[in-house]
């Protein structure tokens, strides 16, 4: 089983100035050990965006290079637009990034590991499965 790890989880684990004790971090480390982590380019971009210290950017970039990106295809973008429309028609707003993450996961039958509560709303209307350990 592959798990698409959302930016919110990566950020908890690797973008904080001080170590925090959160169960999500241990779960992420277990997924990494089991080689179950999936990555796509937009998540990589989100993780690396906004880092103020260049040394931290380089360190995180180099660590993330261990995870190869799944290539997104036309169907992923079409499905993301469909998901956007479905959620919007149900009164749920979301970002294009979020819906592309949902589409990539749905098309590959990956679970999504996130701490972003918006994905719970999406999962009520979209064929996505959230990773809950």
Nearest partner of 79 among 61, 54, 109, 101, judged by Cα: 101
What is the Cα–Cα distance from 3 to 37, expressed in whole angstroms? 5
| Per-residue confidence (pLDDT) for residue 81, from 0 to 100 | 98
What is the Cα–Cα distance from 25 to 31, expressed in whole angstroms? 10
Count of C-beta atoms within a 10 Å radius of residue 110: 23
| Per-residue confidence (pLDDT) for residue 20, from 0 to 100 | 73
What is the Cα–Cα distance from 79 to 103, expressed in whole angstroms? 5
85 — phi, psi (to 5°)? Answer: -65, -40
List pLDDT tens digits, range 11-52. Answer: 998 866 666 778 999 999 999 999 999 999 999 999 999 899
Q: Which domains are delineated in the chain? A: 3-64 (no CATH), 74-130 (3.40.50.1010)
């Amino acid at each position: 089983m592959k798990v698409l790890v959302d930016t919110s989880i990566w950020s908890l684990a690797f973008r904080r100035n001080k170590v925090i004790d959160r169960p999500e971090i241990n779960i992420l480390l277990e997924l990494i050990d089991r080689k179950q982590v999936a990555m796509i380019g937009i998540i990589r971009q989100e993780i690396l965006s906004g880092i103020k210290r260049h040394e931290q950017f380089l360190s995180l970039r180099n660590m993330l290079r261990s995870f190869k990106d799944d290539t997104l295809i036309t169907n992923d973008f079409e499905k993301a637009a469909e998901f956007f429309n479905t959620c919007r028609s149900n009164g749920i707003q979301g970002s294009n990034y979020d819906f592309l993450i949902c589409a990539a996961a749905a098309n590959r039958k990956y679970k999504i590991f996130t701490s972003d509560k918006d994905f719970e709303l999406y999962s009520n209307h979209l064929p996505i499965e959230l990773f809950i350990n």
